[in-house]
Amino acid sequence: AQSVTQPDIHITVSEGASLELRCNYSYGATPYLFWYVQSPGQGLQLLLKYFSGDTLVQGIKGFEAEFKRSQSSFNLRKPSVHWSDAAEYFCAVRGSSASKIIFGSGTRLSIRP
């Protein structure tokens, strides 16, 4: 069955520190992978996506993610977080021939001043 696991429910990092949010997926076919961010009271905004090619993908707001097929992972990283990065982050997966996206349960990011 298709699934996405985000093992960290809540993470707190200091402003200016580096960030890594973990995501593991289970999908039988070639996956398309996404990271979305959701600020309080807002919809989801796409940060980045991986379809094929270079396994290190760059996104908006200085985020990047690396696809590791051997580990079934797609971790999100940022070298230096800003207070405005505080939000909920969702990893998601879909098949290359399917439209249905499966979301993880999210990781809430708090920023320590």
**Identified binder of other proteins from the candidate list 13, 19, 23, 92, rule CB under 8 A:** 92
Q: How many CB atoms lie within 10 A of CB 69?
A: 10
Q: Which helix (H) or strand (E) holds 47?
A: strand 44-50
Q: Which residues contact 98 (CB under 8 A, 6 or more apart)?
A: none
**Identified binder of other proteins from the candidate list 28, 53, 54, 100, rule CB under 8 A:** 100
SS3 content of the chain, % helix, strand, coil (to 5): 10, 55, 40
Nearer to other proteins among residue 13 and residue 92 (C-beta): 92
**Identified binder of other proteins from the candidate list 42, 55, 58, 71, rule CB under 8 A:** 42
User: Judged by CB under 8 A, does residue 22 bind other proteins?
Assistant: no
| Beta-ladder partners of 90 | 36
Site string for other proteins, 51-80 (x = CB under 8 A): x-----------------------------
Q: How many CB atoms lie within 10 A of CB 29?
A: 11
Region binding other proteins by CB under 8 A among candidate stretches 13-21, 54-62, 75-83, 89-97: 89-97
62: DSSP letter: G
User: Judged by CB under 8 A, does residue 21 bind other proteins?
Assistant: no
Region binding other proteins by CB under 8 A among candidate stretches 14-22, 62-70, 74-82, 95-103: 95-103
